[in-house]
A and B are shown apart, each in its own frame.
Chain A
């Protein structure tokens, strides 16, 4: 991205510090983004409302509030929110639920760079 382009705001929601770090590193390799973090579903909704990111990556299994419940709350705040579920538990049921709840896409963990690049290319 050129310096004159507005940086995309990306929110990473995952209770794992390792995943937050790995996903952040992948994004930094791909481009220059403004990256924020949330450690659970509740924090994800609060942070979303605060920064209104262009794109969010959301884990499913998280304490306090699951990623699916956080997705529902975010979509009720902004029906056109782009939330990508990034989870190890990509079962048929979870995929269906995520799509029905308004998820933009689904990435199966472990997250690799090519999957993230595809998502970024879709929204740019």
Chain B
């Protein structure tokens, strides 16, 4: 999940456009990590040194690792260790953007270091975040300090991202939360939670994004925003809310119930209290999760 939040940081820093980011996120599996990016990430070399090594490689017929050692930037042991490194998704994102000419090695290095510093993330935290413990990232990113039910809201969103990764894909970046300032004219699928915790979640997006979201969830090739597509969106919502209920029941003993999902038309602020819009930018479009809890 660090990758998704780091992608948002690149977006907010103006280093990448939403289109370039979405495109890169959709192609991570095609990208091969270069030794230079791994060396920068490990703090062994600076971007400037990596650029010098690349420039030198144009002149001599040597492998990049050999040159790094020859030029005194790294030891053979360090190169061997780097070559065994499993590619982290955030590095693949950086490499893809560098390959695409969207950023330089130096911009990637600065952005990665600034983000880690701003978020207070160590390299060990970073590994944990990629493995699953990313609640601190969500806490810091959304800063729901003034929100009612902050703990439930954060827990709900952490699970949402896990379920997006599990059922839809990793090619997304969360966008900053915003208050629901305007009424939503499009129809949204929604589901209410009641009992120990009261909540309402709506899913809003344009037709093409909904169709792709539903296609991925169902494993079907869907081509229209019809009843079946809406049914798939509803089932994702039902599954997510059900898993939230199970976690809540196991962790706190609180029992909640779900209402059948329904279509909401002409949503207005009066009907949704304490709502937060959580936009998620996928490679195929943006899905808005409107959450009131």
- Chain A interface residues (CB < 8 Å from chain B): 15-19, 61-63, 87-94, 108-110
* Complex partner residue of B246 from A16, A63, A108, CB under 8 angstroms: A108
Tell me whether A91 and B246 are in contact (CB under 8 A): yes
Q: A91-B246, A108-B246 are in contact. List 12 more A-B contacts (CB 8 A).
A: A16-B235, A17-B231, A18-B231, A61-B257, A61-B260, A88-B238, A88-B239, A89-B242, A90-B242, A91-B245, A109-B242, A110-B167
Binding site for A on B (CB under 8 A): 167, 218, 220, 227-228, 231-232, 234-235, 238-239, 241-243, 245-246, 248-250, 253, 255-260
Min C-beta distance of A79 to chain B, whole Å: 26
Quick check: B235 and A19 within 8 Å, CB to CB? yes
Q: Most chain-A Cβ atoms within 10 A of its Cβ — which of B231, B232, B241, B242?
A: B242
Name 10 interchain pairs, CB-CB below 8 A, sorted by A: A16-B234, A16-B235, A18-B235, A62-B260, A87-B242, A88-B239, A88-B243, A89-B245, A93-B249, A109-B239
Min CB gap A106→B, angstroms: 11
Interface of B, helix, strand, loop or mixed by DSSP: helix
Q: Is the CB of B234 within 8 A of A89?
A: no
Give the Cβ gap from B51 to chain A, nearest Cβ, in Å.
47
Give CA–CA (A108, B235) in the complex, Å.
14
A15 to chain B: which residues have CB within 8 Å?
A: 260
Q: CA–CA, A61 to B232, complex, Å?
A: 15
Bound state CA distance, A61 and B256, in angstroms? 12
Q: Are A91 and B243 in contact (CB under 8 A)?
A: no
Complex Cα distance, B235 from A61, in Å, reads: 11
Measured CA separation A87–B239 after assembly (Å): 8
Say what secondary structure dominates the interface of chain A. Answer: loop
A16 B231 Cβ-Cβ under 8 A:
yes
**Complex formed: what's the CA distance from A117 to B238 in Å?**
24
> Taking CB as reference atom, which chain B residue is nearest A61?
B258
Q: Closest CB of chain B to A7's CB: distance in Å?
A: 27
Are B239 and A110 neighbours in the complex by a CB distance under 8 Å? yes
Cα separation A90 to B257 with both chains bound (whole Å): 11
Residues of A within 8 A of B238 (CB): 16, 61, 88
Contact among A61, A93, A110 with B255 in the assembled complex (CB-CB below 8 Å):
A93
